[in-house]
Amino acid sequence: MTDPVTFYDVPVQSRLLLGTARYPTPEILKESITQSQAEIITVSLRRESATKRHGQDFWGMIQQMGKHILPNTAGCHSVKEAVTTAHMAREVFQTDWIKLELIGDNDTLQPDVFGLVEAAKILCAEGFKVFPYTTDDLIVAERLLAVGCCVLMPWGAPIGSGRGLNDPYSLRTMRAYFPNIPLVVDAGIGLPSHAAQAMELGYDAILLNTAVAKSGDPVVMATAFAKAIEAGRQAYLANPMEMLDMAAPSTPVIGKAFDV
């Protein structure tokens, strides 16, 4: 297990945050969470408020697992909708944590960063511990921190796309610019190698859902992601070698026989 990461004064050992949507069965979801070793799981208020109270069975199962719950405002398109959903989630799930998601474009599901900052300001002032789903824009990040966010969650690629890290340069820049802020890559991760790449850049954690839930075997994929994230973190801590433009021999040439 890697070294712990702290979110809003809560330390956790696992650097994988796992979503709970779109799994084939509740049993597969439960086993995937177990094998992922995730200690924080994201939950949609819409799932809990499903018709005929089907969400109650889901919520009961989640409670029994003893995980930290991170409710989200998935599907919200306005500041009012996001803030209202956050209030309802706090009442239902009994936590001040909220993953703030405010969508600005229906095709890319890119965050509306202007509304995001506005909603974050309102929620932080009301005592919420906000985990904002944002882009990799440094100015937006500064504004989110200024209104009270203590975690940033930049996207790797559009939600559910599985494309990995579309812009490693910008993510690397964000890590360098905010060395002491917990940074979580959220959205777009499709393979364990994508997660490892983000961790090798120095990111603190990965939040994903679709890559596990919609794989051929969610339980096996959850295990693979847990291992990849730990490997990526260990590689980062080991201070990887720098890339070179030319070859560098791994075998010393001193003492080697040569023609005269």
Residue 154 near residue 131 (C-beta atoms within 8 A): no
Residue 39 near residue 65 (C-beta atoms within 8 A): no
Burial class (CB within 10 angstroms; exposed 0-12, middle 13-18, buried 19+) of 168: middle
Residue type, 188: G
Alpha helices in 75-217, H assignment, sequence order:
79-93, 113-125, 138-146, 168-177, 192-200, 210-213
Q: Determine how β-strand 10-12 pairs with β-strand 5-7.
A: antiparallel
Mark whether 99 is an active-site residue.
Answer: yes
Q: How many helices (H) and strands (E) does the chain have?
A: 10, 10
Question: Which among 67, 80, 99, 256 is annotated as catalytic?
Answer: 99
Residue 64 CB: number of other CB atoms within 10 A? 9
**Which residues are marked as active site?**
99
